[in-house]
Amino acid sequence: MLPKFYQNCAHYVLTPAQYKMLEILLMLLQFHKTVTIEKLATVFPQPIRFESRRRSIQRFLMLPQLSIPYLWFPLIKRWVKNSFKTGEKRLIFAIDRTQWRSQNVFVISLIEQKRAIPVYWLLLPKRGCSNLAEQKKLIRLLLQLFKGYRMLVLGDREFHSIKLANWLHSKGIDFVLRQKQGTYIRQENQSHQRLQSLGLTPGISFFLTGIQATKQKGFAKFNLAGYYKRKYRGVVEPAGWFLLTNLDNLPDAIKAFKLRSGIEAMFKDCKTGGYNLEST
């Protein structure tokens, strides 16, 4: 049922009985498309009372061996190793937040073939946006897990911070971070101006090199890609993209940022399109 390297990783941390439990749960998850423990306990093939089956599943899911570092990190590292050769292809990651009922979930995901695979996540003990320290905590893990690989991080307007861009650049990570229209930039030999004054309209794109983002001093200069999808069949996008990046051309920056939508599809898969995690 599972690929061989999945089996090897699971056998390394689980007993034979625990592995069999994992196999059965995965089969039930795939067939019934639910992660609700009560529903899984109802269909679990074990000749004991329902309440005993429910407690048995709960105890299994609380095993320390099923933690992210013990089970998931070896799997994702092995999968990347099998799929990508070191230095041959850049790994593309998207960072974003989503609200699952009362849980504020901050996720970093690997983008592959227009889909997103969650690598690591934090449950933020607050409402609203993540801060720089939380962003660094999430991204530092990539440097440990995927040492030797070229990496690119994509972020929407929540992650517009020049401090984040500067930190990513210092770590050798490429980035494309969407900016808010009110952000100030300064081109060489010009005064500061807001992005909204650059005249980005449908069908227009441009690429500015060596710009200073924000009025604060002490940060490296990066490039700015502007892109506004043209009107198509009478439909106009609500806004264009201002993308701060250390990539060196417009096509690469636009192509990369378009891949960020994979994380939105992943959130839908998790919430309502697949296993309905939000209902648990």
Residue 86 has pLDDT above 70, yes or no: no
Residue 46 has pLDDT above 80, yes or no: yes
pLDDT at 218: 77
Which residues, including other chains, have CB under 8 Å from residue 85's CB and lie 6 or more apart?
none
Question: Which residue, chain included where needed, has tokens 């390297």?
Answer: 5
Predicted model pTM: 0.88
Residue 169 has pLDDT above 70, yes or no: yes
249 φ, ψ (degrees, to nearest 5): -155, 160
Integer CA distances (angstroms), 230 to 200, 234, 239, in order: 11, 10, 11
Q: How many residues in total does the chain contain? A: 280
Give me the chain's average pLDDT, please: 89
Residue 38 has pLDDT above 70, yes or no: yes
Q: Tell me the pLDDT tens digit for each residue of 214-226.
A: 888 878 899 999 9
Residues 272/34, Cβ–Cβ less than 8 Å: no
pLDDT at 82: 83
When pLDDT is averaged across residues 180-209 and rounded to a whole number, the result is 91
pLDDT at 33: 82
Residue 213 has pLDDT above 70, yes or no: yes
pLDDT at 214: 86
Q: Tell me the pLDDT tens digit for each residue of 267-280.
A: 777 777 667 777 77
pLDDT at 51: 95
The angle subtended at Cα 236 by Cα 232 and Cα 238, nearest 5°, is 150
pLDDT at 88: 65
When pLDDT is averaged across residues 6-20 and rounded to a whole number, the result is 90
State how far the Cα of 199 lies from the Cα of 196, in Å rounded to an integer: 7
The least confident of 36-45, 113-122, 156-165 is 113-122
pLDDT at 1: 67
Tell which wins on pLDDT, 268 or 167: 167
pLDDT at 160: 93
Q: CA dihedral defined by 127, 130, 134, 135, rounded to 10 degrees? A: 150
When pLDDT is averaged across residues 18-46 and rounded to a whole number, the result is 91
Tell which wins on pLDDT, 228 or 274: 228
What are the E-state strand segments in the chain? Answer: 91-100, 103-112, 115-124, 151-155, 174-178, 184-186, 193-194, 205-213, 222-227, 241-245
pLDDT at 81: 87
